[in-house]
Structure 1
Amino acid sequence: MKILFCFVLLTYTSADLIGQPRNNKEATLKPISTCCDIPELGDPKPLAECSNPKLPGPCNDVQCVFEKSGFLVDKSTLNKETYKAHLRQWAEKHKDWSAAVERAIEDCVDKNLRQYLDIPCTAYDVFTCTSIAMLKKCPASSWKC
């Protein structure tokens, strides 16, 4: 998942903006995702298994991590209870993120949202939605801009 998150950040952020030092007194048009330091959401074992080699495309690596983590019943069905449990267990280790996790569950697990990637990919849809929901509730302690 960390790989996907980095991929999303790199996709939306130009190299020029990444390389510039931050000055909190200057205006910026960086994507807001660069301002919130979201800790890794995935467990190390599935991330490692799906990273060597990294699978091509925006869906395949996330799909792999979701499958190996037990977050999918089948390729297109989220195992909602397992994913909720994972997020809440993660929030136990990252107390500042409890509100963000609950927002992600409400927006992304309890609803069936589509992110409209060119190909249908439930894992991508859920992960992208989760990232956005958590960004919306980024705790002050993780805000970098």
Structure 2
Amino acid sequence: MYKFVILCSIFVAASNADVAQTLTKRETKASLKPLSVCCDIPELADEFQLAKCSPRPPGPCEDVQCIFEVSGFLTDRNTLNKAAYRSHLQKWEKNHPGWTDSIYKAITDCVDNDPRQHLEVPCKAYDVFTCTGIAMLKKCPDTAWKC
């Protein structure tokens, strides 16, 4: 019986040390990574849209601009097709449970308003997409939070 108690004590101590070590690594490691890496936001475009714009055009605007044009999210280079983008986000949300608050925030902040992200060159697609990412990050579900 004495040996059994000792073995159980060793097992419990080893288990607790392993859990404590894992928690310590995750909780104490400092980082200056952008918060955007902390929320694991699934891909917002579908495979067709991505394939049409691959290989990725260079520059901060051209890649997002291509996907927005292929997707019908723009009525012209500088005008968001609000109905199309809103519909896309709502469809995406139905396929990604837990993201309802994020999508609502993205629609409120980025579709219902006219966001400007102040890229050196005006780029409506970049403005809206960056706004969407920020809105989703602000309402990132706990299940997608990695930091």
| TM-score of the pair, normalised by structure 1 | 0.82
- CA separation in 1, counterparts of 2:32 and 2:43? 25
1:121 aligns with 2:123: yes
- CA separation in 2, counterparts of 1:51 and 1:124? 17
Report deviation, 1:120.
Answer: 0.4
Report deviation, 1:67.
Answer: 0.3
Identity of aligned residues (%): 59
| TM-score of the pair, normalised by structure 2 | 0.81
Q: Once superposed, what is the RMSD of the aligned Cα atoms?
A: 1.2
2:77 paired residue number: 75
Number of equivalent positions? 123
1:40 aligns with 2:43: yes
- CA separation in 2, counterparts of 1:135 and 1:24? 20
- CA separation in 2, counterparts of 1:63 and 1:71? 9
Larger radius of gyration: 2
Report deviation, 1:28.
Answer: 2.3
- CA separation in 2, counterparts of 1:133 and 1:78? 17
| 1:1-145 matches, cutoff 5 A | 23-26=25-28, 27-52=30-55, 54-145=56-147
- CA separation in 2, counterparts of 1:85 and 1:57? 27
1:6 paired residue number: none
SS at match of 1:39: coil
Report deviation, 1:85.
Answer: 0.4
